[in-house]
Amino acid sequence: MSKLIRHAEAITRPRDEQLVDVALVQSLVDLLENGRRRVAVRVHRVQTMGGRTLITCTAWNAGRTVFSGEEDVAEPSAALRSAIETLNAMHETREDSDGIMYIHHLPVTYESHTLGAIELASSRELTAQERMLADGMRGLYGNYLSLLQTSQVDVLTRLLNRRTFDENLRRLLASSVEPTAIPQGGIERRVAVGNDNWLAIIDIDRFKKINDHYGHIFGDEVLILVADIMRCVFRRRDKLFRFGGEEFIVLLRQASEEGARRVFERFRQTVAAKQFPQIGQVTVSVGYTRVSPSDHPTVLLGRADEALYYAKMHGRNQVRQYEDLLAEGKIAVKRANREAEFF
Q: In whole angstroms, give the CA distance from residue 147 to residue 180.
A: 32
**Rounded (10°) angle between helices 257-273 and 216-233:** 140
Q: Are strands 90-96 and 99-110 parallel, antiparallel or unpaired?
A: antiparallel
Point out the catalytic residue in the list 33, 119, 246, 247: 246
Asked if 125 is an active-site residue, the reply is no
Phi-psi region of 202 (alpha: psi -120 to 50; beta: other; left: phi over 0): beta
Q: In whole angstroms, give the CA distance from residue 342 to residue 33.
A: 49
Alpha helical stretches, state H, the chain: 2-11, 17-32, 78-86, 128-152, 165-177, 207-214, 216-233, 257-273, 297-313, 322-327
**Which residues does the annotation mark as catalytic?**
246
